[in-house]
Structure 1
Amino acid sequence: MADKEKSGNAFVETIKTIVYALLIAGIFRTLFFQPFWIPSGSMKETLLIGDFLFVNKMAYGYSYASCPSLMLPRFGIEVDSRDICGSFDGDNTRLWGGEPERGDVVVFRHPVSGRDYIKRLIGLPGDTVQMKAGVLHLNGEAVAREDTGVFTEEMAAQGPQRLRPRCENGPVGEGGTCEKSRQIETLPNGVSYSVLNIADQQSDRTGVYTVPEGHYFFMGDNRDNSADSRLAQQVGGVGFVPYENLIGRADRIMFSSAGTSMLYFWTWRSDRFFKGVE
């Protein structure tokens, strides 16, 4: 009888330990740092498919979007942050809110789909943004750009979704070298980063966007392969992103894998471990 009681107590203690661990992990993820895998190539070359980073959630304070989402449709699990913290939604404010800076790489909640996106903050409230012949214009002025050669990568499946890159020198066969023109873009506040060009397309020529108060304008660094604020929310883009939808700032890559699985250690990119996000 005593053995059964000991066994029962051990089982209860194990369950308690698991519950406490999950609570601690949930609190840590909600308040401090959220893990994020880069699933697509919209932020190349700043962020590559397979980069793993922690998002600094303290940078901009907290809103309903700070609550974690758990999306595992394969297992029938779809718990959205609004399901947990939806009562805090609707006023476009934040607790202990901090203002993002132009050029920050930000994870935010898509205003329509609710999915987590990562892009670069280009337009602040009140700014005008326009693309003219592939050149970014802010408040009527062209943003400084400098040609810096060519970005290259192998034409191969990338990441768990097995995405294949678009190439400026396409079509490129399997295993060939995929090329994109590279420029360094420097924003008015001095933040510089690489942008890539693939083709002359409609997103290189836009109307003038005026960023509303309490909203932000985001773009991917891989300009011709990014669904961002240049595309309206109704047609699958991001549009203007409300302040309360910001989740946090991407500061540092912790791990990176070029393969379709992180378990393929021979595809790990050790040169990107602990690399700062600029």
Structure 2
Amino acid sequence: MNFALILFILLVITGVLWFFDRFHARKRRPANAPSPWWVEYGSSFFPVILIVFGLRSFVVEPFRIPSGSMIPTLLVGDFILVQKWSYGIRLPVINKKVIAIADPQRGDVMVFRYPADPSLDYIKRVVGLPGDRIDYHDKRLRINGELIELVREEDYLHPDRLYYSPQFSERLGERAHAVLIERDVPPFISHVLDFPYRENCTYTTSGVSCVVPDGHYYVMGDNRDASSDSRVWGFVPDENIVGRAFFIWFNFNDMKRIGSFH
């Protein structure tokens, strides 16, 4: 469901009713005569829909985490806020950038439209920038030939499955973040899709190597062995970017998670 499009259509309909009532119908009605119900309801909802549409399109947008691909950073059921203007001002509905502000950086947690089906929103961590060479072999990440250090942490206990996963600390940008890497899952990438710039990637039994094309980004989940990401379906084009995730504002199962991610 394209909620932005639905909201835009409602905005247009209620806006037309508001302008019709304000500049035409009101002048023709007798003094103190009530407005028709359809005009009254439409025009009264217009300011509310306008504010919601503006905030959602240009400031922040709420999302709910549907899968465990970003565990332990984000859990299933987390409600997060996404900063829409972090990477530029984009026209709503068509998502076309009109004002450039900044580019995604390594380590950012980014929401974007899934390249294989733009009707779906995905969330992953930015690993590779345009021009980067990304190597992920034997579950070790290298960026432009530099091995990214992993610091062993305490095993992570999954709250809903009651089992432990090896947990590591990894630093891609200014902040360190946690990743889960399973011991028993093989390193090769299975079920690779056919995607644009597929020729930029080489797959072996130990993993994958890719050169990120211009205007695209390489993303991965923090739950490395339970994430369908750029290793499987390729690069994220700039025009698919929605914004940067920065805040957990609610979780029905664990209120302590509110504000725990930034």
TM surpasses 0.5: yes
- Give the structure 2 partner of residue 149 of structure 1: 154
Q: Structure 1 residue 130 and structure 2 residue 114: aligned?
A: no
Match of 1:180? Answer: 165
Provide Cα deviations, 1:129-182, integer angstroms capped at 9, x if missing partner. 1112111111112101011021112445xxxxxxxxxxxxxxxxxxxx221110
**Is 1:252 the counterpart of 2:227 in the alignment?**
no
Counterpart residue type for residue 100 of structure 1:
P
Q: Give matches, 1:1-278, under 5 Å.
A: 5-6=33-34, 8-9=35-36, 12-63=39-90, 67=92, 81=93, 85=94, 88=96, 94-114=98-118, 115-155=120-160, 177-187=162-172, 189-198=173-182, 199-201=184-186, 202-203=188-189, 205-231=206-232, 237=233, 239-257=234-252, 267=253, 269-277=254-262
Q: Distance in 2 between matches of 1:222 and 1:149?
A: 15
| TM-superposed deviation, 1:13 | 2.6
Cα distance in 1, alignment partners of residues 214 and 154 from structure 2: 38
Shift of residue 58 of structure 1? 1.0
User: 5+ unaligned residues in a row in structure 1: which ranges?
Assistant: 68-80, 157-176, 232-236, 258-266
1:61 maps to amino acid: G
The alignment covers a number of residue pairs equal to 214
Contact persistence 2:80–2:245 (CA under 8 A): yes
Task: Give structure 2 stretches of 5+ with no counterpart.
Answer: 1-29, 190-204
Identity %: 36
User: Which structure has the greater CA radius of gyration?
Assistant: 2
In the alignment, is the contact (CA less than 8 A) between 2:107 and 2:171 conserved in 1? no
Inter-partner Cα distance in structure 1 for 2:45 and 2:163 = 47
Q: Is contact 2:111-2:242 (8 Å) kept?
A: yes
Q: Give the structure, 1 or 2, with the largest relative contact order (CA under 8 Å, sep 6 or more).
A: 1
1:186-218 Cα distance to aligned partner (Å, 9 max, x none): 22x443100002333224932310001111100
Q: Please give the alpha-carbon distance, in whole angstroms, between the structure 1 residues aligned to 2:98 and 2:41.
A: 37
Q: Which amino acid aligns with 1:224?
A: D
Flag the 1:136–1:212 CA change in 2: closer, same or farther, 3 A: same
